[in-house]
Amino acid sequence: MAQELTNAKMIVDKDFKVSEIDPRIYGSFIEHLGRAVYGGIYEPGHPKADEQGFRSDVMDLVKELQVPIVRYPGGNMVSAYNWEDGVGPKDERPSRLELAWRSIENNRVGTNEFVDWARKAGTDVMMAVNLGTRGIDAARNLLEYTNHPGGTYYSDLRRSHGYEQPHNIKTWCLGNEMDGPWQLGGKTAGEYGRLAYETAKAMKLVDPDIELVSCGSSSSNMPTFPQWEATTLEHTYEYADYVSLHQYYTNYENDTANFLAKSMEMDHFIGTVVSTCDYIKAKKRSNKMINLSFDEWNVWFHSTAEDQKVEPWQTAPPLLEDVYTFEDAVLVGSLLHTLLKHSDRVKMACMAQLVNVIAPIMTDNGGQVWKQTIFYPYYYTSVYGRGTALNPVVHSPKYDSKDFTDVPYLDTSVVYNEEKEELVVFATNRHLENTLKVDCDIRSFEGFGVTEHVVLEHDDPKAVNIVGQEQVKPHHNGKSHMEDGHLQAILPKMSWNMIRLHKQK
């Protein structure tokens, strides 16, 4: 049955700029949690494992995503982690009770191995320090171990472990979700602010070239938000370069229209944090701008009930293994739009996580690797969303849902890569029944023509990808063309789209 048409309009001009996009906005996250490390990126004895035990089939997909930075080693796990357990000869490393996820951590992968993996995968490391059960001393010692050339206790310890050259990790998180009552060593805003300030001071004495992320709220739903940001930044503003945001999106009520509007929640969250940062900037009479690191974001709710049944004190049990649906992928596409629309202040972001744990990439132990539905919007936006984010003028019909009003059916972000003479329009049609016909005025891009229109669509919002059976994947048969300086595009009902245009020779 033919879908009814709904009309929308856009104006895209190369002078309507948001910002140059920091590639780190497409980062991800690996935590010592479930099968993210063991059975995910690392599985010695697997047919595709390399000489260090890293799965090459998983690494190939990470490279395909062009992930620029990966946060490590946590997450909640870092708040009781002793980094010293994960360095040195593997047969001398202790197994520990990992309290955040009530598992056994065998420490076969630690700082050095993860840096090795990151280099092989073509990505940088965003390292988190433990400000829960530890503090200033452990943080500055770890930084000395990773970044100092030699001639001191911890730098020479690294060299004795076979790493003559420093790792030069330049992005560091000052703890994780310290506002959360679930966090080991959780703190009030004042307690965290003082500790983070003193830790940051010590770390920047060890290596003045590092960038530091101050802990923001664990979600916009926290009762202390946004006062947490205001209080902590009063302390950390001098040394911090970023403040973190974390948010996960759910559809427990099975309300697709409301679920697809939740990128507006992310938009509001970012706006509030920006306002709070700028309030502290004004209060301090500072010229320094604090930017944002949205270093945990994704859909997460499918596995919650199953996780309650997992027996504690296992090594790498299956935890947080959400099986993502088509509608999850559509929302993930819109969340990426939102990050790009705020790329003037959101400079880093991490889809949480990367492999097996609420992840775009899944594996079988000893077996295959496959792409979840959310892999595709992440892949296309990461690969083609490089350059300058533009601010389109959008005229779209709207709808109301349970939690949101005036939700545009057309959700979009636009990226211009001047060097490649490439214009990329990422577009979501939130309408559950109607095709969206979009008239996009791009007259400032004279001589550009459509070279590709990728569509992610499916008749079943709950369709999933499982090993050996990929129901949800994009096609390249999108309908769009140029007409008198206007891009005419047809966006199928409930779909995510990428339209690439190039200057015609």
Q: Is the distance from CB of 312 to CB of 103 less than 8 angstroms?
A: yes
- Buried/exposed 233-268: b ≥16 CB within 10 Å, e otherwise: bebbbebbbbbbbbbebebeeeebbbbbbbbbbbbe
Whether 20 is catalytic:
no
SS (H, E, C) 202-256: HHHHHCCCCEEEECCCCCCCCCCCCHHHHHHHHHHCCCCCEEEEEEEECCCCCCH
Catalytic residue of the set 84, 98, 296, 457: 296
CA distances in angstroms from 263 to 154, 178, 271, 332, 404, listed in the order given: 44, 25, 12, 8, 10
Q: Determine the residue type at 142.
A: L
Distance CA 496, CA 211 (A): 34
Distance CA 475, CA 455 (A): 5
Residue in 120, 105, 126, 139 with CA at minimum distance from that of residue 37? 105
Q: Is the distance from CB of 475 to CB of 454 less than 8 angstroms?
A: yes
For residue 182 the two structure tokens come to: 């679930």
CA distances in angstroms from 7 to 159, 365, 394, 500, listed in the order given: 63, 48, 11, 21
Catalytic residue of the set 43, 177, 321, 457: 177
Whether 177 is catalytic:
yes
Catalytic residues: 177, 296
